[in-house]
Amino acid sequence: MSAHSSELAVAAPADAPGVDAGTDEGADEELRAELRAVSRDLLAAAAGKDDAQVDWALLAEAGWLGLEVPDGLDGAGVTVAETAVVCEELGRAAARAPYLGTAVLGAGALLALDPGDDRDELLRALATGAPRFAVALPTGDAPLGAAGVPGAVPFRLARSGGAVRLTGRAEFVPDAAEAETLLLLALDEGDEPVVVRAAPGQPGVEVTATPVLDVSRSLGTVAAVDAPVEAGSVWRFRGDGRAGGRLLLARGALAVACDSLGAAEAMLAATVEYASVRHQFGRPIGSFQAVKHGCADMLVSVSVGRGLVTEATRALAAASAVHVADGADGVDDAAMSAVEVAVSRAKSYMCAAAVDVAGKAMQLHGGIGYTWESGVHRYLKRAALSRALFGSPTAHRARLARHLDADGAGGAR
Amino acid sequence: MSAHSSELAVAAPADAPGVDAGTDEGADEELRAELRAVSRDLLAAAAGKDDAQVDWALLAEAGWLGLEVPDGLDGAGVTVAETAVVCEELGRAAARAPYLGTAVLGAGALLALDPGDDRDELLRALATGAPRFAVALPTGDAPLGAAGVPGAVPFRLARSGGAVRLTGRAEFVPDAAEAETLLLLALDEGDEPVVVRAAPGQPGVEVTATPVLDVSRSLGTVAAVDAPVEAGSVWRFRGDGRAGGRLLLARGALAVACDSLGAAEAMLAATVEYASVRHQFGRPIGSFQAVKHGCADMLVSVSVGRGLVTEATRALAAASAVHVADGADGVDDAAMSAVEVAVSRAKSYMCAAAVDVAGKAMQLHGGIGYTWESGVHRYLKRAALSRALFGSPTAHRARLARHLDADGAGGAR
Amino acid sequence: MNATLADLAELRATIRDWCRAHVPADWRRAQTGVGDDEFVAFQQAWFQELRRAGYAVPHWPAEWGGGMSAAEQMVLYQELAAADAPRLVLAFVSIHHAAATLLTAGTDEQRRRHLPGILDGEIWVQGFSEPEAGSDLASLRTTARRESRAGGDVFVVNGQKLWASGAAHADWCLLLARSDPAAPKRRGISYLLMDMRSPGLDVRPIRNALGDSHFCEIFLNDVEIPAENLVGPENSGWQVAQATLAAERGMTMLELAERLGNVGLRSLVETCRRPDAAGHRPIDDTLVADRLAGFDTEIAGLRALCRDLVERHDAGTVGDASQAPPAMRRSQDRTAFGDAGQAPPAMRRSQDRTAFGDASQAPPAVRRSQDRTAFGGADASVVKVYYSELLQRMTGFGAEIAGLAAQTELSKPASSGWESGRWLLDFIGSWEWTIPGGTNEIQRTIIGERGLGLPREP
Amino acid sequence: MNATLADLAELRATIRDWCRAHVPADWRRAQTGVGDDEFVAFQQAWFQELRRAGYAVPHWPAEWGGGMSAAEQMVLYQELAAADAPRLVLAFVSIHHAAATLLTAGTDEQRRRHLPGILDGEIWVQGFSEPEAGSDLASLRTTARRESRAGGDVFVVNGQKLWASGAAHADWCLLLARSDPAAPKRRGISYLLMDMRSPGLDVRPIRNALGDSHFCEIFLNDVEIPAENLVGPENSGWQVAQATLAAERGMTMLELAERLGNVGLRSLVETCRRPDAAGHRPIDDTLVADRLAGFDTEIAGLRALCRDLVERHDAGTVGDASQAPPAMRRSQDRTAFGDAGQAPPAMRRSQDRTAFGDASQAPPAVRRSQDRTAFGGADASVVKVYYSELLQRMTGFGAEIAGLAAQTELSKPASSGWESGRWLLDFIGSWEWTIPGGTNEIQRTIIGERGLGLPREP
């Protein structure tokens, strides 16, 4: 049961306390704290608005889009751990911004590719906020099945009449409708996962918006039918394409878990605030055990969720760094499994907990909580969407259970 | 979905209120209320003792063993609904008595058989308390599987060397170790379920006690290896043997559900009592919402469980009456399914709820609840045993789900 | 008049035939995404359809247009639910709260004026809650000052009411206001019938969590209500309100249980039997099957609870503390909103009979043994807590199973309950049952104190 | 002394080798069903084995025989759990509560007298709770009357203590008694070290829910305790007790989490991978697989919580309210038993360092961002609630899966925790974690008030 026992602490050095004397973990924590504080201020403005729309230019100016873009390409050159902070703050504000499509998945996909001028140029542009990106990959339960990633790759390249053509369909793609540049996860003729660059207007490619109850999110369907593809638009992952695809899916799941963490913390804070000022029966309602203990339960699950999200972030950051640095040799299957285990735990726990916390917030706000104006519903809808996006808790737990069964088979210790 | 919708109210007349003007439902209710009051008084004495042993002679004198034995055989000639009352009260007192083996299953098995002098004589004896009975049937999850009863019948008759011989094994048989007369559920040579009468001392038959944590229960293993059987000891069910077996298993499950209902009510009452007198922080602890709401939740689940147990009792009583009266033609498969649906609901809900309620009782009693002397542990262990005996909640729900799926297939309405 | 089994079977067949002929085909699709006017028109038409058949107000006394026994009403609601008939959403307060108030505490004149009006489609709204008086209803601040006028005394009302569901369409309002500011909290409140066309009224919609606006705020600025519209004695409004709120329970809960057990469970099973893209049916997972069976069981338990409540309402044994076991002692009556719906036993018994059936009917024999009253004075709270949380669990599970697809269902059929099968909408709507009418936290306190006799908070 | 990653890996390898050589083979079987004497002998022998390796009291200061950093202790407990070493059950109070008390508030003389004694195997018991002072510890009634004797002052103690775990084997007792009956509840209590061989003591075992008798009552009848055995100032025993109780948290919770995550989860997975008579493995049911994965996740979450708690203890940032976000305001300190383990921040910070590591160690940099203190002064309560209820859920699930077979397991290995894989016994034993040390109801109040700053009950 190595992936689930104390071995993990060795595999992921950051888990062990007091061991960072020689690392820059402390500095990173400070950077993240500052990033968090700035984000919170900036997004607080958006939180007040009914549509919670965040000014895209502002995000670009703040440097949040290029966090992971290398220094040399005008980015900040930091890791997914910093991106995670922004995701959490976007969730806290229930803000509407195409951050997932561009900064999380777009940058993540490009960074996982073999470097090259086209890619580098696109990364540089990404950091400026133009174009906006969408990455068409499977966002449901499919890739969590026993079959793994390739079976769930939504697009396929085939040569016909001398041209390479793309066919496939991906639903519930984050930020698809507003994207100017599409990156499509596809299988090439050798069944190797690759990324295909496309534009929404391009022949054979159709993008349609999918309206959802959570108006703070934008989702859409990307469909391609025999769309001709230029050779220069087909990009290979560094090293093993399968590993690249798996890391990308892990990023999506983790980003959504971070979002749910922020949302849950916001709901807890709002409930505590309300329970402290709202009086009934001559007392603040927070002085009643029913309310107080309800808030305590919210804090417990937020605390547990935060721990899981933190561990998953560390694991993914470490693996991503290895992937970018070493390519194929870097992230072996065991390391990838460790990342996926951590991400599945964080995603399944936190995204389910956030729905519960938002629901409890609605309950403890009483009639006010059920009004549109309270905004609690925005968090409930957002948490419900996050729960399903990039794999339901059930699907993630099914994947975890397969690991447990396999590990159990491995030996008694 | 006929078995799950309003149709049931027609199938089971007692479900509908105000319709018993012409029936003796009112009179029966009065009888049961009296029976309950008498039982509660009588068993209250046992509840105080550490082993909660009930005087067997007293039970026989009170007429509780022969409740369902016909008038003509010196019994009370009432229904399983009255037996259910005693089961509930035994659970309330967490009393130790071989009632399940003799009065619930023993009488139930004999009543389901074709009448005859031997059977009648045995029924008459049963009401007097001598001999004590055990019925060896499957008490785990097996008979709830898709295969149904016959596959789970634990014994088999085979002719060898001119004699009929019995082979098989049943574990966790209630009251087996103390029984003087065994009734074994077996398949005859034609694969028809029958009941074989045997005695513990008889060649080839071995009974061993199975010590369990719940010391208020007695369980044992009944094993037979090529045990010679006289022709007169093989008894056929009235009509369809399969139906007889199914009714018997339903009785076992229902009796245990009744036991859990009584146990849960006792735990609720004890907790309310304790919370009303125990003071901490200058107040009775029952005035704190954490305790009060905990008790409220216990009441809610006990109330729901009582409703389900009542419905299952009515359904089983009605079907049993039909079975005894009409034999094979009486209880068709649909009616049997309706009984099993009601029993599975009651068993799965009530037996799980009783464990939760007893656990909550232990918690709300604080340190006192964790002592041996408080007796809460006796209820927790008994409830845990009841939860597993005659089918786990999970197994009963699996059976229910098959009905739901089948009904769903039947049509939209 | 106790119906025989045969009578009931015949009634069931009659209603079933009637439903086949009269339940509008495909009304769910037609009522999805409609505007307010269309919704009101549909509700009014359906109400009149039911009225013509004698099914609109079966619980009223026969002389006013009802007259069904509890057993008959149960058959009616079972069949309406099984046929998936539209719910009477708009008339809910009129036929339950308003009627119960008038029948219990109104004058003959008030009944004659208003009960036929309700049958003709007059809509009532409840004006109880206020911004500072939600769970703690007794602290309401709206004032009613008695003054003399040429045509007779009037109450001059000032204040603000909240959560007045359907106020935008209402003709009349059941209003609680403080008529004696000097009296203790619950002693100075009067119960008034207010014409919603009165000058000085301002109704403003409040959007709920789904963006709908059937909740309203009502601002009252020197609104004059004739003194003859006082219900019960002056300053006794709190007691009268108990009756009004009691009407929300019992048979109305049974109807909700039947809805959940029919279209609700059916939709959930259907959702789980639907194969996904890979041909896999959720119900084939033991995980899903187990949950479905659990819901089936809980619904059966809910129905049993509701039937028991209705039968005992009918038998007059609800909340009879004299039969409760010693451990289940009854506490003093609570002063909070919490006990809305919990009149003192003596009052409740009589009012229940009036509200739930023809008082001229011979009450059925008290068939229940003492244990049936185990939940003492908290029956309605037990049912409310259980129903609302079961609804929340079921719809929550539906939303989880439906996954991303649930997010794309942007509206549900008007005239349906929160078991429409649009799971995420239903889930969010389920808080409409765990919060209003005394939050479930308040209900648990009632259950603990009235049902179990646990001591009050100091 | 901060260890480098390489140092820790080396330590891990060393401990792992040590465990292979020293953990008694098959001790679980051998310790199942043994008598009290055998249990005590085994515990004492194992304690000395650990002591020889330097693993018995790693959290003590180096001068007293400990000296491991928090990171090193974590490695130690991870490896002991992974190797399924016996737990130190008998010495628990001695090495944690007694030592923390002495190190925090004891005199040099008291330390010199008792710390080596503990290393030599002296057993301590905690004499705090009383029949009328459980959750409400501050209402304890046992009296300590100061009197002069020839050899110096003594405290004459009378009263009764309850739930004194292990008192039958104890050499010394940590005693709270009321030395000033006139002072307010928490102001008149003194903290005393009582020799269990003192005349006037009567120890009677209390059987627990499993029939075991490690809990005891202690009756005190004019027991004389020399005044030099007073810890801290007279009448300041309440404050001293905070330190004692605080020692129960932190690293001890981490050890428990590791036990649950190793032998606990492993046994559960094994139970679910075992084919039944028909060859079916429970884990192949999605229902069971889902629960197992949920437990795996929750254990990972628990470990993260514990690590965080330990790291912040180490860093001295536990409960620093100055970093809490505004909404998470800190309430007044609670007066109840509830806040046992929750000393005022200033005191806690210093005591934690003393209790959890060598005070001479340079405290690691405060690496945490402000959100890491989101649970403010309630960290330990969060962990306790979560651990104990996870243990209860896991063992409850195990008992359910094991079914009837679980009933036939009549005893579990002594020296193991409540994750022995004897699921029904473990399940019942799990209440030993949800009740003592402040019930989980009390813990939730602490979390609400100290962690979230919610208002106290009036």
Picking from A113, A131, A149, the residue at the C-terminal end of a domain is A131
Q: Which residue of D has its CA nearest to B377?
A: D209
* Shared domain check, B312 and B225: no
Please check whether residue D119 lies inside any domain of the structure: no
* CATH number (domain holding residue D221): 2.40.110.10
pLDDT band of A47, cuts 50, 70, 90 = low
Better pLDDT: C417 or D348: C417
Q: CATH number of the domain at C88, please.
A: 1.10.540
* Most C-contacting residue of B314, B400, B403, B413 (CB-CB within 10 A), to test interface: B400
Same domain, D147 and D222: yes
Residue of C nearest to D291 (CA): C287
pLDDT at residue D358 in the model: 27
Neighbouring subunits of B (3+ Cβ pairs under 8 A): A, C, D
On whether both A92 and A217 belong to a single domain, the answer is: no
Task: Give Cβ neighbours of residue B400 (< 8 Å, ≥ 6 apart).
Answer: B341, B344, B345, B348, C293, C296, C297
Is residue C407's pLDDT more than 50?
Answer: yes
State the smallest CA–CA distance between residue B102 and chain A in angstroms.
44
Mean pLDDT of all residues belonging to chain C: 85
Q: In total, how many domains does chain D have?
A: 3
pLDDT reading at C372 higher than 50: no
Do A162 and A119 reside in the same domain of the chain? no
A261 and A343 housed in the same domain: yes
Closest Cα in chain A, distance from residue C39 (Å): 21
Residue D170 lies in a domain: yes
In a domain, C114, yes or no: no
Residue C113 covered by a domain = no
8 A C-beta contact, residue C167 and residue C218: yes
Domain endpoint, select from A131, A156, A179: A131
Between C162, C403, C427, which is nearest A367 by CB?
Answer: C162
Name the nearest CA neighbour of A182 among A116, A227, A217, A239: A227
| ipTM score of complex | 0.91
- CATH number of the domain to which C443 belongs: 1.20.140.10
Alpha carbon of D287: minimum distance to chain C alpha carbons (Å): 4
Q: Are strands C172-178 and C124-127 parallel, antiparallel or unpaired?
A: parallel
Give the pLDDT confidence score for residue D248 in this predicted structure.
57
Residue C110 lies in a domain: no
Residue among A355, A359, A370 minimizing CB distance to C432:
A370
From chain B, the residues in CB contact with D215 under 8 A are: 371
Stronger pLDDT, D316 or D130, i.e. the higher one: D130
Q: What is the pLDDT of residues B234-269, one digit of tens each?
A: 999 988 888 899 999 999 999 999 999 999 999 999
B412 has a chain A CB within 8 A of its CB:
no
- Residue A272 and residue D453: Cβ atoms within 8 Å? yes
**A-chain residues within 8 Å CB-CB of D311?**
17-18
Do B292 and B353 have their domain in common? yes
Catalytic residue among C72, C130, C248, C449: C248
Q: Which chain A positions have a beta carbon within 8 Å of C389's beta carbon?
A: none
Which pLDDT score, from 0 to 100, does residue B76 have?
94
Instruction: Kindly state whether residues B251 and B393 are assigned to the same domain.
Output: yes
Q: What percent of chain C has pLDDT over 90?
A: 73
Q: Examine the domain organization and report whether B115 and B143 are in the same domain.
A: no
Residue range of the domain that includes C422: 240-451
CB A390 within 8 A of CB A252: yes
Choose among C5, C69, C304: nearest Cβ to B307. Answer: C304
| C365 and C437 fall within a common domain | yes
Last residue of a domain, one of B131, B160, B180: B131
Q: Which domain holds residue B358?
A: 241-412
Q: Is residue D110 part of a domain?
A: no
Question: Is pLDDT above 70 for C70?
Answer: yes
Whole-number pLDDT of residue A38: 87
Q: Are residues B57 and B103 in the same domain?
A: yes
Q: Percentage helix, strand, coil, to 5, in chain D?
A: 50, 10, 35
Mean pLDDT value of segment C396-407: 96
pLDDT, mean over chain A: 89
The mean per-residue pLDDT over the stretch C214-241 comes to: 96
**Which of C84-88, C250-254, C287-291, C453-457 shows the lowest mean pLDDT across its residues?**
C250-254
Q: Are residues B231 and B267 in the same domain?
A: no
Sign of CA dihedral C192, C194, C199, C201: positive
CA distance A57 to chain C (A): 29
The CATH number covering residue B260 comes to: 1.20.140.10
Residue A200's domain is classified under what CATH number? Answer: 2.40.110.10
**Do D55 and D186 reside in the same domain of the chain?**
no
Q: With respect to residue C211, please indicate whether it lies within any of the assigned structural domains.
A: yes
Q: DSSP code of C301?
A: H
Average pLDDT over residues C46-62: 96
pLDDT tens figures, D64-122: 999 999 899 999 999 999 999 999 999 999 999 999 999 999 999 999 999 999 999 99
Check: CB of residue A292 under 8 Å from CB of residue D448.
Answer: yes
One domain for residues C163 and C297: no
At B328, the pLDDT band (50, 70, 90 cuts) reads low
User: What residues of A are in contact with residue B281 (Cβ under 8 Å)?
Assistant: none
pLDDT tens-digit readout, B267-317: 999 999 999 999 999 999 999 999 999 999 999 999 999 999 999 999 999
Q: Do D209 and B372 touch (CB under 8 A)?
A: yes
Check residue A286 and give its pLDDT: 97
**How do residues D406-421 score in pLDDT, each as one tens digit?**
999 999 999 899 999 9
Q: Any CB–CB contact under 8 A between A6 and chain B? A: no
Number of structural domains (chain A) is 3
Asked if A21 is an interface residue toward chain B (Cβ–Cβ < 8 A), one would say no
C190 bridge partner residues: C177
Residue C82 and residue B413 in contact, taking contact as beta carbons nearer than 8 Å: yes
Mark whether A101 and A170 lie in a shared domain.
no
Question: Chain D: residue nearest C282 by CA?
Answer: D286
Q: Per residue in D411-450, pLDDT tens?
A: 999 989 999 999 999 999 999 999 998 899 999 999 999 9
Mutate which: B289, B291, B295, vs A, most A CBs within 10 A: B289
Task: Check CB contact under 8 Å for A293 and B288.
Answer: no
- Same domain as A390, residue A273: yes
Q: D304 and A25 in contact by Cβ < 8 A?
A: no
User: Where in the sequence numbering do the catalytic residues of D fall?
Assistant: 248
Do the chains contact at A172 and C404, CB–CB below 8 Å? yes
Residues of B at the D interface (Cβ-Cβ below 8 Å)? 139-142, 171-172, 210-214, 219, 279-281, 285, 288, 290-291, 355, 359, 362-363, 366-367, 369-373, 376-377, 380-381, 384-385, 387-389, 392-394
Give me the pLDDT at residue B329, please. 64
Using alpha carbons, select from D364, D369, D371 the residue that is nearest to residue D71: D364
Out of C203, C231, C259, a domain closes at C231
Report chain D residues whose CB lies below 8 A from the CB of C286.
285-288
Clarify whether residues B264 and B402 are in a common domain.
yes
Q: Which residue has the tokens 């709507």?
A: C429
Q: What is the pLDDT of residue A332?
A: 85
Residues B181 and B136: their CA atoms lie apart, in Å, by 11
Q: Is C314 found in the same domain as C397?
A: yes
Between positions 261 and 290 of D, the ones with CB within 8 A of C are 285-288, 290
Active site residue C248: yes
Question: Mind spelling out the 3-state secondary structure of chain B?
Answer: CHHHCCHHHHHCHHHCCCCHHHCCHHHHHHHHHHHHHHHHHHHHHHHHCCCCECCHHHHHHCCCCCCCCCHHHCCCCCCHHHHHHHHHHHHHHCCECCHHHHHHHHHHHHHCECCCHHHHHHHHHHHHCCCCEEEECCCCCHHHCCCCCHHHCCEEEEEECCEEEEEEEEEEEECCCCCCEEEEEEECCCCCEEEEEECCCCCCEEEEEECCCCCCCCEEEEEEEEEEECHHHEEEECCCHHHHHHHHHHHHHHHHHHHHHHHHHHHHHHHHHHHHHCEECCEEHHHCHHHHHHHHHHHHHHHHHHHHHHHHHHHHHHHHHHHHHHHHHCCCHHHHHHHHHHHHHHHHHHHHHHHHHHHHHHHHCHHHHHECCCCHHHHHHHHHHHHHCCCCHHHHHHHHHHHHHHHHHHCCC
Give yes or no for residue C129 having a pLDDT over 90: yes
Position with higher pLDDT, B412 vs C62: C62
Give the chain A residue nearest C211 (alpha carbons).
Answer: A372
Average pLDDT over residues B174-194: 95
Is C429 domain-assigned? yes
- For chain D, list residues whose CB is within 8 angstroms of any CB belonging to chain B: 129, 132, 134-136, 139, 162-163, 206-211, 215, 277-278, 287, 336, 392, 396, 399-400, 403-404, 406-410, 424-425, 427-428, 431-432, 434-436, 439-441, 444-445
Q: What is the mean pLDDT of residues C235-250?
A: 79
